[in-house]
Amino acid sequence: MGYDTLKSEELLKISTLGELVKSGYQSEPVKEELRRNLIRKKKAGEDIFEGIWGYEDTVIPDVERAILSRHNINFLGLRGQAKTRMARMMIELLDEYIPVVTDSPLNDDPANPISRFARDLIAEKGDDTPISWMHRSERYTEKLATPDVTIADLIGDVDPIKAASLKLPYSDERVIHFGLVPRSHRGIFVINELPDLQARIQVALFNILQEGDIQIRGFKLRMPLDIQFVFTANPEDYTNRGSIITPLKDRIDSQIITHYPDSIETGKKITQQEASIKEEQSSAVQVFDLAKDLIEQIAIEARGSEYVDEKSGVSARLTISGYENLISAAERRVLQNGDSKTSVRITDFQGMIPSITGKVELVYEGEQEGAGIVANNLVGKALRTQFVNYFPDPEKERKKERGNAYEPIKEWFEKGNMVDLIFDASEKDYRKELKNIPGLEKLVDKYQKTPHEDFKFFLMEFALFGLAEYSLLSKHQVEKGMQFKDLFNSMFSMPELDEED
């Protein structure tokens, strides 16, 4: 059995093989160790994958079943779906400490050594063989698969310097410099983006999973490696860059499919948890729930956009970095105006554009449109989608013969009036511009009555942008902000093209 029930200070007192044997220590495979600790935590009601949201009824039960079954695991999903994070969290299912033969290259179990070094040392010193204790954090190895990864990197190679210094022939096992896989003995080994590994490297892994054999330049070592393998793969890789060879895929016992958040609320939990926001930013910038909903809606719109490659996916990092940029846009305005506090505005979403353009893979049509235009369109679609959750559907209002909720606003713009919302406008100028629009404040008071003055102006701005997205108004970017005017006047006031254009 393992040593999870003993206190750390009791373990650290054991320093020789003889003392270890007297303590009643017995070897335990790493998969059994993970299983035992999972059972213990489940019975205690502990949250094993804390901070992983949206997987409570899908991915997490699959992972727990795989661990209980003592399976190697492959997480299959698009980018930004917490595949690697879940693999790293499995460390917490390991015992805090395990005993190893001191200085052994393969973290040898004192009761079941596999390396030549450990076997020779135990044969020489017996009960006086020195024992060290390895913390669970040292038992995790992670490797990103790339096409240039070699057999030597993962499995090992002959070390001529070691052969010369020890005066050993190349036929001696002791001249081998072991790679990452053998050095992960008794731990968790993770390979990210498995399909990117060359087929011949995958064959070597298949051999380890199947037989425990390590073959290095003519050596055939029967080494019963004790490893919990975790792989991650993106379905896109199966067709675009490489594939998992069938024999290897067949030996990975559980393939677990991951997914993106299935609701805005789940997405908000992830974004708020992962975003790096300093206390001074939180105290200076007020963020409304509607703004957070809009950020998540942008990601949803991107995942369904005809301009975005759906096979590539849209990472949760889009909303995380987008939220950070939104806060920073408002913070910059505070610094520009010498204020102490502010609230986010819809115009601040322009600060999110760099976060969007770097997080979406465009198809050919998207490339033709341009990344910046696609990003702005995604923001616009998010505004349009959320607009009807707060105000009457403009499409239905258009059909009314009288009582159109937006008529007073539309009529004012039809008279030739326009509004410029400057990105870095002071709070006073910002509110003045919105208050100048007849009917806008009344619209908010009627459909979204709120005692919160800051949120009221955010809703007024939101309504203005929403009407533009439903083509009741014209909106376009000017040098330092956004300009709103009547749609038809805007069309007729476009500059004339000369004959060559």
Domain annotation covers residue 245: yes
pLDDT at 9: 67
Domain annotation covers residue 365: yes
51-60 pLDDT per residue, tens: 999 999 999 9
* pLDDT value at 5 more than 60: no
Domain co-membership, 377 together with 401: no
* pLDDT value at 349 more than 90: yes
Q: Would you place residue 495 in the very low, low, confident or very high pLDDT band (cuts 50, 70, 90)?
A: very low
List the structure tokens of 250. Answer: 């067949």
* pLDDT value at 498 more than 50: no
In the block, residue with structure tokens 């009791």: 10
Q: What ranges make up the beta strands (E) of 32-116?
A: 73-76, 97-101
- Of 139-153, 161-175, 313-327, 369-383, the one with minimum mean pLDDT is 161-175
Domain annotation covers residue 2: no
Q: What does the pLDDT average to over 142-171?
A: 80
Query: Can you give the residue range of the structural domain that contains 291?
Result: 261-387
Domain boundary among 340, 370, 387: 387
Q: What type of residue is 188? A: I
pLDDT at 166: 72
Q: Given phi > 0 = left and psi -120 to 50 = alpha, else beta, which region is 86?
A: alpha
Domain annotation covers residue 3: no
Element (H, E) at 98: strand 97-101
Q: Are 122 and 130 in contact (CB under 8 A)?
A: no
6-52 pLDDT per residue, tens: 555 677 789 999 999 988 888 899 999 999 999 999 999 999 999 99
Domain co-membership, 328 together with 225: no
* pLDDT value at 485 more than 80: yes
Domain boundary among 366, 387, 408: 387
User: 206: domain CATH number?
Assistant: 3.40.50.300
Separation CA 37–CA 401 (nearest Å): 68
The dihedral sign for the CA sequence 125, 130, 131, 137: negative
Domain co-membership, 266 together with 158: no
Mean pLDDT of the chain: 89
Nearest residue to 462 (alpha-carbon basis) of 296, 330, 265, 293: 293
pLDDT at 403: 84
* pLDDT value at 176 more than 90: no
Nearest residue to 289 (alpha-carbon basis) of 323, 335, 318: 323
Q: Would you place residue 478 in the very low, low, confident or very high pLDDT band (cuts 50, 70, 90)?
A: confident
Share above pLDDT 90 across residues of the chain, in percent, rounded to a whole number = 70
Domain co-membership, 366 together with 342: yes
In the block, residue with structure tokens 């490797």: 143
456-475 pLDDT per residue, tens: 999 999 999 999 999 999 99
* pLDDT value at 501 more than 50: no
Share above pLDDT 70 across residues of the chain, in percent, rounded to a whole number = 91
Domain co-membership, 374 together with 410: no
List the structure tokens of 82. Answer: 């917490």
Helix 440-447 crosses helix 427-435 at what angle (to 10 degrees)?
90
* pLDDT value at 101 more than 50: yes
Domain co-membership, 28 together with 156: yes
Task: Count CB atoms within 10 A of the CB of residue 5.
Answer: 9
Q: Would you place residue 500 in the very low, low, confident or very high pLDDT band (cuts 50, 70, 90)?
A: very low
In the block, residue with structure tokens 């015992």: 95
Domain annotation covers residue 1: no
* pLDDT value at 2 more than 60: no
pLDDT at 489: 67
39-50 pLDDT per residue, tens: 999 999 999 999
353-364 pLDDT per residue, tens: 999 998 999 999
For the chain, what is the domain count?
3
206-259 pLDDT per residue, tens: 878 877 666 666 666 677 889 999 999 988 755 445 688 888 888 899 999 999
Q: Which one-letter DSSP state was computed for residue 139?
A: G
Q: What does the pLDDT average to over 58-79?
A: 96
Domain co-membership, 214 together with 331: no
Domain annotation covers residue 235: yes
* pLDDT value at 274 more than 90: yes
List the structure tokens of 485. Answer: 């005017």
User: 308: domain CATH number?
Assistant: 1.10.8
Domain co-membership, 104 together with 230: yes
CA atoms within 13 A on the CB side of 356: 30
Element (H, E) at 152: helix 151-154
Domain co-membership, 126 together with 232: yes
Domain annotation covers residue 71: yes
Separation CA 409–CA 120 (nearest Å): 88
pLDDT at 490: 58
Q: What does the pLDDT average to over 357-372?
A: 92
DSSP 195-242: GGS-HHHHHHHHHHHHH-EEEETTEEEE----EEEEEEE-TTHHHHT-
pTM of the model: 0.86
422-442 pLDDT per residue, tens: 999 999 999 999 999 999 999
pLDDT at 170: 63
Domain boundary among 372, 387, 402: 387
